[in-house]
Structure 1
Amino acid sequence: MPEPYEPFDDGRAIDHTGAGGPTDLAMEEAESLEKTPGGPLGTGPSGKPRSLWSDAWHDLRRNPVFIISSLIILFLVIIAIWPQLIASGDPLQCDLSKAQEGSQPGHPFGFNGQGCDVYTRTVYGARASVQVGVFATLGVTIIGSLFGGLAGFFGGGWDGVLSRITDVFFAIPVILGGLVLLSVVTSTTVWPVIGFMVLLGWPQLSRIARGSVITAKQNDYVQAARALGASNSRMLLRHITPNALAPVIVVATIALGTYISLEATLSFLGVGLKPPTVSWGIDISSASQYIRNAPHMLLWPAGALAITVLSFIMLGDAVRDALDPKLR
């Protein structure tokens, strides 16, 4: 009759019938393989190897580009939520007698063509732009990651159907699609614009998620878990998803700035956000005809838009450099 315990090469005893048996130990070893993808990532204070995420955060905290862009974005989010902190006026209160006038005490940015305070409208314009960018990015990331991840994991017919659907959406020009779909919308809220961006934006994230999942499921720890009988849900949630998120996060961060720019473009063309909503794109559109006589009307909202988009692109570049071991 065989002994219930046998010696193991690391000095531990293995119980073939209970906890600590070879199946459990092999599963633990398979899970430990995923803690340092892409090679050694440095060590933490205890001397143990850091994970990809902790190593990325270690690098981000020392990256001045990440710090500067994060501070700018934090400031934009704060004034988007509480614009009255730095602007006490009403963005919809106008005085035609002051139309196109320049800077004055209490009105540092001057007035627009309707006599509205440009400074107040620039501050309040951050709310609509940030709201559109954040919610559009969340919708695109959730839908694209879900469909792309499932297609990449299961393959076969699911993958073929998704590929054909995304090909159809990629064939639709974004600006032309906005002109067609949003031209019939009469709502003055941000939700039709957000819905349009999600509708045409999720295929790109689905392709990124699909490729990332296909790469992750070929790693040794996933193959080991599969050989040991791990269920599909366990492999997806425990092994593949945490190691396939990095490219999705990078693309989503950069796309957030792109969606803010797209909202301004659609509003400039007259099919995006509509008055009385305060938006940088609306102000840029109304100021374009006065650019020679009152350039300040265009300068401030356009400058705020450029700084916002640049900040999100810089943040995405910093996150990409931190999460991609090949760039170290």
Structure 2
Amino acid sequence: MAELSKEKFQIIGCVDGDAEAIVRPNLTYWQDAWRRLKQNKIAIFSLILLSVISIMCIIGPYLGKLISGVDYTIQNHVAEAINAKPGTLNINEKGEQIGTYIFGTDHLGRDMFGRLWKGGRASIIIGLVGTLIEVLVGALYGGISGYFGGLVDDIMMRIVEILNSIPYMIVVILMAVLFEKQGILTILLALCITGWTGMARLIRGQVMQLKESEYVLAAQALGAGSKRVIYKHLIPNTIGIIIVYMTFDIPSFIFAEAFLSFIGLGIQPPKTSWGAMASFGQQVMDFYPHELLFPAVAISLTMLSFNLLGDGLRDALDPKLRQ
């Protein structure tokens, strides 16, 4: 019979007990999503560009006053300062140079640089606030509808279908008739009355899928009420989809505001937005193309950045793509 000893048994592939060592750090869901988002160079560039645009919308009007020497609301009645080209010097009545119109001026001699970033405030505020209202109402409505199902779901979805069949243009025209002046609040009200229905349908479908999960059944078995299950378990597990939806919905609001202002149903003078500036620029584009070019480029870059960022977030927040 062979004699067994410790020398005949050796541990191979494990040095100094390193089998317990953690090769990969433990990452939470959001840490892993951020790690994957950083690998998407286009999405990160879009995020940086959106940050720059947002910062310029905050400080741009004040920066324009320093560069041009006058506030963006001041009208210059000097002939050379009306519809001036980009880079035109700002000369006062004494013949002294007090600044430069780096983006030129409009038909009233106002600085385009300051007005561009002032108009961006209105466009971005409408995009962000409108999307936030739409997400809050749609997520709550869709969560309740999908969780209870049955007759409650049938009634709530029929209401959604009725609202979804109403063109938002009709609502905007009605708002224009009811209110003498169209401002940010009027546009938000018109766009949000029926805009939340898409989010409600999306969340309803996700909740109907998630409510049969084990953690929901466990919460119900422990005595959790419907309100707690919806708020604490179902809606938080749809947060990834909500974030992606928001990044695609914000440019939709910005474009809707630009379109309404372009046709005269949006922001009214003396207030301005990118759409209102593009509307005035379109009237003189044959002679002064810069008055249309700058707001059009601002709208295009903002919408493109949000869409590219949304693509990156969709890939980063999808657990199926985790490596």
Q: TM-score range by the shorter chain?
A: 0.7 to 0.9
Amino acid at match of 2:58: I
Q: Which of 192, 195, 200 is 1:206 aligned to?
A: 200
Aligned pair count reads 284
Matches within 5 A, 1:309-320: 309-320=303-314
Deviation per residue, 1:164-186 (Å, 9 max, x gap) = 11111211222343234335422
Identity rate of aligned residues, in percent? 34
Instruction: State the alpha-carbon separation in 1 of the partners of residues 160 and 321 from structure 2.
Output: 30
Name the aligned partner's letter for residue 315 of structure 2. D
Aligned positions of 1:167-206 closer than 5 A:
167-206=161-200
Say which one has the larger Rg: 2
Q: Report if the CA contact (8 A) 1:212-1:247 is conserved.
A: no
**Aligned-residue CA RMSD (Å):** 2.1
> Could you tell me how far apart the structure 2 residues matched to 1:326 and 1:140 are?
27
Unaligned runs of 5+ residues in structure 2 are: 1-21, 90-99
Length-normalised TM-score, structure 2: 0.81
* Cα distance between partner residues in 2 of 1:83 and 1:294: 22
Pick from 215, 232, 243 the counterpart of residue 238 of structure 1.
232
Amino acid at match of 1:151: S
Residue 42 of structure 2 is matched in structure 1 by 65
Which amino acid letter does the alignment assign opposite residue 122 of structure 2? A
Instruction: Give the SS at the match of 1:86.
Output: helix
**Helix, strand or coil for the counterpart of 2:196?**
helix
Within 2, Cα distance between the matches of 1:203 and 1:76? 30
Is the contact made by 2:46 and 2:309 (CA closer than 8 Å) also made in structure 1?
yes
Instruction: Tell me whether 1:217 sits opposite 2:211 in the alignment.
Output: yes
Deviation of 1:72 after TM superposition, in Å, equals 1.7
Match of residue 91 from structure 1? 72
> 1:112 aligned to 2:82?
no
Contact 1:101 1:112 in 2 (8 A): yes
Q: How far apart are 1:206 and its partner, in Å?
A: 0.8
2:53 equivalent to 1:76: yes
TM-score, reference length from structure 1: 0.80
Distance 1:165 1:325, change over 3 A: same
Matching residue's letter, 2:260: L
Alpha-carbon shift at residue 45 of structure 1 (Å): 8.0
* Residue identity in the other structure for 2:279: S
Gapped regions of structure 1 (runs ≥ 5): 1-43
In structure 2, C-alpha distance between the alignment counterparts of 1:150 and 1:204, rounded to whole Å:
15
Moved over 6 A (4+): none
Q: CA-to-partner distance for each residue in 1:139-171, whole Å, 9 max, x for gaps? A: 111111111111111112321122111111211
